[in-house]
Structure 1
Amino acid sequence: MALQNFDPQTFLDQVWQRNALLIKNAIPNYDCPLDGNDLAGLACEDDVDSRIIFEKDGGWELRNGPFKEDDFGTLPESKWTLLVQSVDHYLPELAELLAHFRFIPRWRTEDVMVSYACDGGNVGPHYDQYDVFLVQGSGRRRWKIGGHCTPSNALSNTSGLRLLKDFSAEQEYLLEAGDVLYVPPGVAHWGVAEGDDCITLSVGFRAPSEAALLSDFSDDIASYLDESLRYQDPQLSADAHPAEISAQVHQHVKSLIQRHIDNDQHLARWFGEMMTRIPDQESMVDDSLSPEAFLLELAEGAVLQLRLGARLAFDDQYLFADGLAFPYPAEQRGDVRALCEIECGVTIDTAHRLSPDMIYALFCNGTLCFYDDTQD
């Protein structure tokens, strides 16, 4: 599925991570797959990340979920917003929205956050550290776009919300159903619902900090090193001052670190695992079926599907699935690639061309699951 009135390569060459861009009628005749009641129901679930933000008295107030059904009966008539994270992990119809944005690497995809707002509802002026496409699902929202922000921009941390103290609009857009607004990292923006039943679908793309990358990679390297490997001195001089750390020692330590970092194969495996890792991966693991029982289920007609929220990537050696690297032979590259082109929640035929061992491993990892037609 492609966005209308939009050229992906021109966007990537001229706009991506540079400037905001409005794409009018990008998804013609868009029929939003959920309404406010659906979102409120999800916000009552214990394992769903949700929050409500109120604007009042010139400020904003944050309340975190999970909520109770009665909480929604006490909300004011205006100026509040309900936000629910990772809704594409629970609703197959919403997961389909991601197909419109596959011109961005799949392994950069974070999730689809959904906000429902009544008239005047907003979350205040802010900027994000990631790329986001704001898809208007229903109703109308007016967006004001400011300039590029830096850590020097003053923030207010009232109620745990990192909002800009000073905001100056440089552009202004009114979005209606099917319109898409792209906002790059660091660009200030502020969206306010005009009228009730305003639903915005935020397709976010992960962008780990350089500090997080370095920390995670060093932890990964350390996890493979034997504790018996210890620091050893370079050639010492008896005439050196006993408290001095010489330039020779600095160079020696630098060489030691570089020796462990300069491993392209290790870096490729680690990066693929990191960029497909999901929170609480252990809860996804299902090793309750033996390999024999699993294959018997398939032989008797069970159908597999890609789990909602599954994260996939591949390179020349590995299929990366939800934080784990699965090696594959060169002759299966086409099948691995085809698997990575399937959208989450879709039933799997391609997987049967992969080895039974890999299919079973992906099932145990929670990446593949049995299709349940009673949920349709």
Structure 2
Amino acid sequence: MKKLALLGGLTPQQFLREYWHKKPLLIRQAIPGFQPLLSREDLLAMARRDDVESRLISRSGKRWQMAKGPLEVMPAIGKKGWTLLVQGVNLHDDAADTLMQSFRFIPDARLDDLMISYATEGGGVGPHFDSYDVFLLQAHGRRRWQISAQKDLSLAEGMPLKILENFQAEQEYVLEPGDMLYLPPHYAHDGVALDECMTYSIGFRAPAYQELAEGFLQFMADSVEVPGRYADPDLAPASRPAEISAAMLDRVSSEINRIRFTRDDIAIFLGEYLSEPKPTVFFDLPARPMRKEKFLQSAASRGVRLARKTRMLYRGKHLFVNGDSFTLQRQDRDALLALADHRVLSAEEVETASADVLDAFYAWYQDGWLVLR
């Protein structure tokens, strides 16, 4: 595979083999001459919106405060020691979405979002760890990162944030615009702004198995069928009326143990679960939707692309779009998988798509899931 400047000249294979989930990697000038994609004013405006996740964090001595957005009032820019975190910026800005796509050497099923941290001098969120991998790209100003492979991940009590009780820095780096630091899960770190700065965090999904198990059981509840009703024609008189009998337990256990699930069931659950938009995501519907004939003509001359907020995955014969699942027909497979992998289809590819695929494209266009190029 091709070496990437983004990875310090490593190929994705080398990076995944040597660093992913294993150890940090500092990459100087991962993106040479990088400039912020959004101005400070744009970011502050985004934090005021109710469809954007944001948090305001400030510190006074050992006292931390956190407020969740929408954030109508911000501290003065000249005030030291505060941080604004804006999640999912890639969902709302084309340039941020394009940057996010640079990390698609990691599967979409694992990519989460791009968060921007704006901080005044001295700002930060305290020493902490993440349960997922993260790339920390410096966009503006300077930030000092202290990191540690410490095993003690106990948290300070009574804090509004998850701050490590006993952080012991082992390495220290100062990142300037274009520099990037990769950290594996559970690697302790503390970033402090040395001046007004912005840091872009590219994070990854790592759902807890408990969360997946609960979600899967809810998913299966819609399809489980256990016919019949409990009966005990051989019931004997009860000497201990309050006791659940072994016979009753055996009968019920036998019926419940007949429930089975397959690898295909898990694939469908995972596809729907991982492509489901977050609760704060709302799709932008076309202001004046084209009629179907006009849309198809435009698509055949311009091509189409997935909307920024659309998540599209596939596995085997199953296609997943924004939490919905579809069965792929053989004649539709090439076009739909190409759209999922590249997030765009050229005019020529649209022209060769089947009538069923074109019907789906028009429905997705009306829902704001797909747009013209």
TM-score under structure 2 length normalisation: 0.84
RMSD: 3.3
- The code of the aligned residue for 2:124 comes to N
Residue aligning to 2:137:
135
CA contact (8 A) 2:230 2:252 kept: no
Aligned pair in 2 of structure 1 residues 245, 142: CA closer, same or farther (>3 Å)? farther
Task: Write the deviation string for residues 153-198 of structure 1: whole angstroms up to 9, x where unpaired.
Answer: 133342x2111121111221211112221122222111011122x1
Residue aligning to 1:187:
187
CA contact (8 A) 1:6 1:23 kept: no
Residue aligning to 1:207:
206
Residue aligning to 1:325:
325
CA contact (8 A) 2:150 2:168 kept: no
Structure 1 unaligned residues grouped into runs of 5+: 372-376
Shift of 1:112: 0.5
- Provide the rounded CA distance (Å) in 1 between the counterparts of 2:222 and 2:203: 31
CA contact (8 A) 1:144 1:189 kept: yes
- The code of the aligned residue for 1:368 comes to L
Residue aligning to 2:295:
297
Aligned pair in 2 of structure 1 residues 248, 189: CA closer, same or farther (>3 Å)? farther
Residue aligning to 2:156:
155
Residue aligning to 2:94:
92
Residue aligning to 2:279:
280
- The code of the aligned residue for 1:156 comes to E
Task: Write the deviation string for residues 131-170 of structure 1: whole angstroms up to 9, x where unpaired.
Answer: 21111112111111122557x6133342x21111211112
Task: Write the deviation string for residues 48-91 of structure 1: whole angstroms up to 9, x where unpaired.
Answer: 211211121123211222223xx336355211111111111111
Give the match's secondary structure for 2:320. Answer: strand
Aligned pair in 2 of structure 1 residues 221, 179: CA closer, same or farther (>3 Å)? same
Shift of 1:298: 3.0
CA contact (8 A) 1:6 1:26 kept: no
Aligned pair in 2 of structure 1 residues 229, 361: CA closer, same or farther (>3 Å)? farther
Aligned pair in 2 of structure 1 residues 73, 361: CA closer, same or farther (>3 Å)? same
- Provide the rounded CA distance (Å) in 1 between the counterparts of 2:367 and 2:32: 37
Residue aligning to 1:17:
21
Aligned pair in 2 of structure 1 residues 149, 45: CA closer, same or farther (>3 Å)? farther
CA contact (8 A) 2:51 2:281 kept: no
Residue aligning to 2:57:
53
- The code of the aligned residue for 2:211 comes to A
Question: Matches of residues 94-109 of structure 1 in structure 2 within 5 Å?
Answer: 94-109=96-111
Task: Write the deviation string for residues 77-130 of structure 1: whole angstroms up to 9, x where unpaired.
Answer: 211111111111111001111222111111211111101111111011111122
Question: Matches of residues 105-116 of structure 1 in structure 2 within 5 Å?
Answer: 105-116=107-118
Residue aligning to 1:217:
216
CA contact (8 A) 2:272 2:320 kept: yes
Shift of 1:253: 3.0
CA contact (8 A) 1:221 1:260 kept: no
- Provide the rounded CA distance (Å) in 2 between the counterparts of 1:61 and 1:281: 23
Shift of 1:339: 0.8
Shift of 1:356: 1.5
- The code of the aligned residue for 1:100 comes to S
Shift of 1:251: 10
- Provide the rounded CA distance (Å) in 1 between the counterparts of 2:259 and 2:44: 49
Shift of 1:203: 0.7
- The code of the aligned residue for 1:294 comes to K
Aligned pair in 2 of structure 1 residues 294, 139: CA closer, same or farther (>3 Å)? same
- The structure 1 residue matched to 2:121, chosen from 113, 116, 119, is 119
Residue aligning to 2:42:
38
CA contact (8 A) 1:146 1:171 kept: yes
Question: Matches of residues 240-259 of structure 1 in structure 2 within 5 Å?
Answer: 243=243, 253=253, 256-257=256-257, 259=258
Shift of 1:263: 1.3
Shift of 1:273: 0.8
> Identity over aligned residues, as a percent?
33
TM-score under structure 1 length normalisation: 0.83
Aligned pair in 2 of structure 1 residues 282, 194: CA closer, same or farther (>3 Å)? closer
Quick check: 139-148 or 242-251, which moved more?
Answer: 242-251
